[in-house]
C-alpha cells in the first residue's frame, strides 16, 4: 500500500496497519522531541551565518503548497524593495548533497532538482542556492548576497540553522495527526507553536484561480485533456484542476507517479491519446521539456498561485519581524 493509503485510508487493512505502526510513531516522536530538547536547552546551538532568513515549512511529508507560497513571498519581498535569494533542497539531484549558488539561465532538473528548475523557470531573475546542507547554503548566500533575504523552501525541521522568521503550513483539521510511520507528521503537531506563524490562523493562504498555459506562454482552456503528474498529494491537484475548469473534462489518461519522479521513462508518453493535450504541473514540465518526444503530444502547464490575506496587514507583520 502507498503510505498515503495507510495514513488516510478507511479500509480494514489501512486501519490495522496504522494500529500496528502506531508504537513506532510514538518512538519516532519521542526521538524527535529529544533532538529538539538539545537545542532548547542550549546543549546544541544553531548557527547563524546569515540574516535574515525566512523559512516556509510544514510538518508533514509530501506536498502542502510550500512552493507556491515561496514564489508568492519572493514577489512580495521584491515589492518591498528587498533583495531575495531562494533556497531549495534540490531533492533527489546531485546538487542536493552540499550547497551551490545556481548559475544564471535555465536549470537542468536532472542536475539541480525539479523544484529549483521550476523556480528558475517562473522567476528567472531571482538568485537560487541549492542543497540540503542549509548552513552551508546560508554561508554561500552571505558571501555572494550579503544584503539579501534568504527565503527557504522547506527546512523547518533543520534545527542546526537559525531562522529569523518561520512560517508553517498546517491544515486546521488533519485526517491523521500521528507521526511517521503511522501518520504523515515529521514531528509532533503540537510543535507548530514553535513557528512564528501558522497558516491558516490570523492570516489565510488563499489560492488564485488555476491557469493553463502552453509551452509558449499562451493561456488555454481545453475541452478535454489527459493528466500526468508526480506530486506528493496528486488528489489536491486533480481537485483544483476540476474546480478551475468545470466545463472541461478529463477525457483521456491519468498517470499519477511518485513525488519527484524524474519522468524519464522511455515509453512514458506512449499511452496518452495524441488528440488530447496533457496537463502537467510546472514542477513536472521542467523535467519533461528536455525529453526528445515532447513535441509529439501537446502539453498544457498548470500554474497555481497563492496569496496571503489580508495582505496589507500581513506585510506590516512581516516587515516588523524582519526589522527585529
Judge whether 120 and 107 are in contact, CB under 8 Å.
yes
Band of residue 141 on the pLDDT scale cut at 50, 70, 90: very high
Question: For 127-168, what is the HEC assignment?
Answer: CEEECCCHHHHHHHHHHHCCCCEEEEECCCCCCCECCCEEEE
Q: What is the pLDDT of residues 267-277, one digit of tens each?
A: 899 889 988 99
What pLDDT does 324 receive?
84
Q: Give the containing element (helix H, strand E) for 230.
A: strand 224-230
Task: Tell me the per-residue pLDDT of 211-227, one tens digit each, with 9 for 90 and over.
Answer: 999 999 999 999 999 99
> pTM (2 decimals)?
0.94
Read off the C-alpha cell for 123. 522567476
- Is it true that domain 53-203+308-323 has CATH number 3.40.50? yes
Q: State the Cα angle at 51 between 45 and 53, rounded to 5°.
A: 85
d(CA 226, CA 119): 25
Average pLDDT over all residues of the chain: 93
Length of the chain as a residue count: 324
How far is CA 58 from each of CA 53, 159, 229, rounded to the nearest angstrom?
16, 14, 21
3-state secondary structure of 250: strand
Give 57-84 pLDDT, tens digit per residue: 999 987 678 999 999 999 999 999 999 9
pLDDT of res. 64: 72
Amino acid at each position: 500500500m502507498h503510505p498515503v493509503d495507510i495514513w488516510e485510508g478507511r479500509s480494514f487493512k489501512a486501519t490495522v496497519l496504522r494500529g500496528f505502526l502506531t508504537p513506532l510513531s510514538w518512538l519516532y516522536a519521542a526521538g524527535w522531541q529529544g533532538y529538539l530538547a538539545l537545542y532548547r536547552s542550549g546543549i546544541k546551538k544553531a548557527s547563524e551565518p546569515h540574516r535574515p532568513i525566512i523559512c516556509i515549512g510544514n510538518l508533514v511529508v509530501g506536498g502542502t503548497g510550500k512552493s507556491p507560497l515561496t514564489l508568492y513571498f519572493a514577489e512580495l519581498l521584491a515589492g518591498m524593495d528587498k533583495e531575495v535569494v531562494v533556497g531549495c533542497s534540490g531533492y533527489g539531484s546531485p546538487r542536493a548533497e552540499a550547497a551551490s549558488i545556481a548559475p544564471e539561465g535555465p536549470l537542468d532538473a536532472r542536475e539541480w532538482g525539479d523544484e529549483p528548475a521550476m523556480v528558475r523557470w517562473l522567476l528567472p531573475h531571482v538568485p537560487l542556492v541549492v542543497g540540503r546542507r542549509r548552513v552551508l547554503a546560508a554561508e554561500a548566500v552571505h558571501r555572494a548576497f550579503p544584503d539579501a533575504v534568504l527565503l527557504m523552501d522547506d527546512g523547518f525541521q533543520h534545527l542546526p540553522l537559525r531562522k529569523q522568521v518561520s512560517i508553517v503550513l498546517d491544515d486546521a483539521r488533519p485526517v491523521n495527526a500521528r507521526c511517521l510511520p503511522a501518520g504523515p507528521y515529521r514531528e509532533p503537531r503540537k510543535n507548530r507553536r514553535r513557528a512564528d506563524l501558522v497558516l491558516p490562523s490570523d492570516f489565510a493562504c488563499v489560492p488564485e484561480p488555476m491557469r493553463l498555459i502552453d509551452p509558449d506562454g499562451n493561456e488555454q482552456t481545453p475541452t478535454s485533456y489527459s493528466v500526468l503528474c508526480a506530486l506528493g498529494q496528486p488528489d489536491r491537484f486533480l481537485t483544483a484542476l476540476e474546480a478551475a475548469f468545470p466545463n472541461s473534462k478529463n477525457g483521456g489518461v491519468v498517470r499519477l507517479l511518485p513525488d519527484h519522479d524524474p519522468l524519464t521513462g522511455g515509453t512514458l508518453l506512449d499511452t496518452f491519446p495524441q488528440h488530447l493535450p496533457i496537463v502537467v504541473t510546472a514542477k513536472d514540465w521542467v523535467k519533461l521539456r528536455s525529453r526528445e518526444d515532447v513535441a509529439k503530444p501537446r502539453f498544457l502547464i498548470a500554474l497555481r498561485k497563492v496569496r496571503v490575506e489580508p495582505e496589507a496587514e500581513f506585510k506590516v507583520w512581516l516587515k516588523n519581524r524582519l526589522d527585529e
